[in-house]
Every structure is written in C-alpha cells, then in structure tokens.
C-alpha cells in the first residue's frame, strides 16, 4: 500500500527544487497562506471541522513531495481559509521510518516558507510519558528533545540554505511563547479541552519503545514521545517561522503498563482528539 520510497532519496534540496514545488501549487491556487498546518496520525478529520477549503492537491501531483503510506494519512494539501486566516494545510505527513530522508520529510515546511507562511501549527499523535496524561488529552509542546537530530539526523545537514537562515540556528524559542500563551487562553475559554504543557521527545521509530527506553525518556525530561515533528520544527525555526506545536495523547507510554500501544489505538484516540484539536486550532486562528 502507498508510495514506494526511492532507492536513493535526496539528502537535501536546493532552492530551485523547492521553488518548483511552489510553482506547482501556484498553478492550482493563488492563495497567499499566512499559516501552515500539519495534521498528524489520526487527525486527518480536523480539516472537516471548519476550514473553508478552496483547493486541494493530492501529494502525488506535487514534484518531490513525500507521499504518506500508512493508515490514517490520506496525503492531501488543502488551501483555503479558516477562522479568517489564509491557511495551507497538510492532511498527513511523511515520516523518516517510511524510508524518506529528513530533507524529504521536511520539504513541505520549506515550501510553506517560500509561499510566505509566517506561522506553523504542527500536530501529532504521541505517547504520554507523563503519568498524569490520559489518552485523548492534548499537550502543548513547550520544548522538544530531538533525539534523532542530536545524533546526526538533522534536516539541516548539508549545504546551508542562506536564503532561509544561518548555518547554526538557535532553537531557544522553538515553540513560540506568545502562541503558547494564546493556546492556553483559548483552552481555558473553551470547555472540555484538557490541555497539558510539556516536552516532546522525537524518535525515528517505527518500533515502539522498550520499557527501559521509556524510563530513559521520562528521566531526561520527556512528557510525550512520538515519531515526527522535531525535524519540521527545526526547519521552521531555521527559516524564522513561528511554531505552535500540539500533541494529541493517543496512548500511555509508561513502562508498567500491561498493554502495548497499537496503531489502531493511536487512531481510536485520534477520534476523541479530533474535535478538541479542531476547536483549539480554530480558537487560535481566530485570535492571530
Ligand atoms: N511511542 C512513540 N510514538 C508514538 C506513540 C508511542 O507510544 N504513540 C503515538 N506515537
């Protein structure tokens, strides 16, 4: 099922390749997006909760764009308005574990930047390392630990694209403090949105963690763990894009749990998270 990864996928893209994707999108839509949205595992239906879609483009129609191959990731780009904001929304994302390079995984963020996107709202399904988190809860990402990036799998590896940012970019305020405050305010005003705040640990996957790994991830300060997001955020920050990150807790990732997480469980919790995520995002968009 799904796309077959290339045998020798590109390790990095230059501006010409990135702009080729931009041109392909511009052929379909003249929209000038201000906000980029990435919907993660099980969250595809968020797009049906209020976005006024003006154009949609299947990923396979875009050059270089990585296609998604797993359940719950239809793989479409939507352009339109949501709560008055011009947005570009990705329904589904590619993951490193699918066989793509980090450059491929994060290409869409580069494209968003060239399209003029100023704010990236990135979502994911994550396991809750923090014992206080329950499946279906949301967690505002305060900071991340990019484990795969720290040991070498950075999407910024390769020639630096000066057009976007410096060789050694800061990751101090990776998750914008003002946007986080705005999201907290929205969650307080709306009822029934349990919103935690914490540190997201990014792993490569696709295997879930051993009990020893979970204990380690908790001990280094992780509140949630997942297999995406950190690369995209790294690229976003390199290019000066402000980021709001929201994890939907799809399962408990604690070492004394009897039950191991399954992909089905992730999708089921997604169904609970979808309306909450959609209302939170809409509230934030309305206040931008
Ligand atoms: N671990 C890693 N990634 C995940 C999990 C998990 O428990 N749940 C959803 N994505």
pLDDT score of 72 more than 60:
no
Q: Which atom of ligand 1 is nearest to the CA of 251?
A: 8
Dist. CA 126 → ligand 1 center (Å): 5
228-246 confidence digits (pLDDT tens): 999 999 999 999 999 999 9
Mind giving me the DSSP string for 234-257? HHHHHTT-EEEEEEEEEEE--TT-
Confirm whether 236 is a catalytic residue.
Answer: no
Hey, is 46 helix, strand or coil? helix
The CA–CA distances, whole Å, from 20 to 13, 111, 114, 231, 253 equal: 11, 9, 11, 22, 41
Q: Which atom of ligand 1 is nearest to the CA of 128?
A: 7
Confirm whether 146 is a catalytic residue.
Answer: no
What is the enclosing helix (H) or strand (E) of 279?
helix 263-287
Return d(Cα 171, Cα 258) in angstroms, integer. Answer: 37
Confidence band of 4 (pLDDT split at 50, 70, 90): low
251 half-sphere exposure, CB direction, 13 A CA radius: 22
Confirm whether 187 is a catalytic residue.
Answer: no
pLDDT score of 124 more than 50:
yes
Confidence band of 254 (pLDDT split at 50, 70, 90): confident
Confidence band of 258 (pLDDT split at 50, 70, 90): low
Dist. CA 209 → ligand 1 center (Å): 8
Confirm whether 265 is a catalytic residue.
Answer: no
Dist. CA 80 → ligand 1 center (Å): 31
Confidence band of 267 (pLDDT split at 50, 70, 90): confident
Confirm whether 98 is a catalytic residue.
Answer: yes
Q: Which atom of ligand 1 is nearest to the CA of 253?
A: 7
Confidence band of 137 (pLDDT split at 50, 70, 90): very high
Confidence band of 263 (pLDDT split at 50, 70, 90): confident
Where is pLDDT greater, at 40 or 18? 18
22 φψ region: left (φ > 0), alpha (ψ -120 to 50), beta (else): alpha
Query: Average pLDDT in the 199-228 region?
Result: 95
Mutate to test the pocket of ligand 1, among 218, 225, 230 (most ligand atoms within 8 A of CB): 225
pLDDT value for 260: 67
Mutate to test the pocket of ligand 1, among 250, 257, 263, 265 (most ligand atoms within 8 A of CB): 250
pLDDT score of 71 more than 80:
no
Which class is 15-287 in CATH?
alpha beta
Nearest to 28 by CA among 3, 66, 65: 65
Neighbours of 254 (CB within 10 A): 16
Hey, is 35 helix, strand or coil? strand
Query: Average pLDDT in the 133-142 region?
Result: 94
Return d(Cα 83, Cα 57) in angstroms, integer. Answer: 21
pLDDT value for 87: 98
26-37 confidence digits (pLDDT tens): 999 999 999 999
Nearest to 82 by CA among 50, 115, 114: 50
- Nearest 10 degrees: Cα torsion 258, 43, 112, 96: 30
Angle at 235 between CA 231 and CA 238, to 5 degrees: 140
Mutate to test the pocket of ligand 1, among 95, 138, 208, 224 (most ligand atoms within 8 A of CB): 208
Query: Average pLDDT in the 242-266 region?
Result: 82
Work out the burial of residue 30: count CB atoms within 10 Å of its CB; fewer than 13 is exposed, 13-18 middle, 19 or more buried: exposed
Confirm whether 73 is a catalytic residue.
Answer: yes
Residues with CB under 6 A from ligand 1: 125-127, 208-209, 225-227, 250-251, 253, 261, 266
pLDDT value for 74: 61
Residue 263 and residue 125 in contact, taking contact as beta carbons nearer than 8 Å:
no
Query: Average pLDDT in the 5-33 region?
Result: 91
Q: Which of 45, 98, 253, 269 is catalytic?
A: 98
Confidence band of 1 (pLDDT split at 50, 70, 90): very low
Q: Where are the domains of the chain?
A: 15-287
Cα radius of gyration (the chain)? 18
Nearest to 67 by CA among 43, 33, 91: 91
pLDDT score of 162 more than 80:
yes
């Amino acid at each position: 099922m799904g796309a077959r990864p290339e045998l020798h996928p590109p390790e990095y893209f230059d501006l010409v390749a990135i702009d080729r994707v931009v041109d392909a999108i511009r052929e379909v839509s003249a929209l000038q997006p201000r906000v980029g949205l990435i919907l993660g595992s099980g969250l595809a239906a968020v797009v049906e909760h209020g976005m006024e879609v003006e154009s949609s483009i299947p990923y396979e129609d875009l050059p270089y764009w990585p296609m998604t191959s797993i359940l719950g990731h239809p793989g479409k780009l939507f352009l339109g308005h949501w709560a008055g904001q011009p947005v570009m929304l990705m329904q589904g994302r590619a993951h490193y574990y699918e066989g793509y390079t980090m450059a491929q995984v994060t290409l869409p963020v580069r494209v968003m930047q060239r399209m003029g996107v100023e704010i990236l709202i990135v979502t994911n399904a994550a396991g809750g390392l923090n014992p206080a988190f329950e499946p279906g809860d949301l967690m505002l990402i305060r900071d991340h630990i990019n484990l795969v990036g720290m040991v070498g799998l950075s999407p910024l590896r390769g020639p630096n694209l000066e057009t976007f940012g410096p060789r050694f970019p800061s990751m101090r305020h990776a998750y914008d403090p003002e946007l986080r405050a705005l999201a907290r305010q929205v969650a307080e005003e709306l009822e029934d949105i349990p919103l935690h705040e914490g540190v997201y640990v990014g792993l490569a996957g696709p295997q879930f963690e051993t009990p020893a790994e979970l204990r380690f991830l908790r001990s280094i300060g992780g509140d949630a763990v997942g297999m995406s997001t950190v690369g995209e955020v790294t690229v976003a920050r390199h290019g000066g894009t402000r980021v709001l990150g929201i994890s939907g807790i799809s399962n408990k990732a604690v070492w004394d749990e009897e039950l191991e997480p399954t992909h089905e469980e992730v999708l089921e919790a997604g169904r609970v998270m979808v309306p909450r995520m959609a209302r939170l995002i809409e509230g934030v968009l309305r206040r931008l």
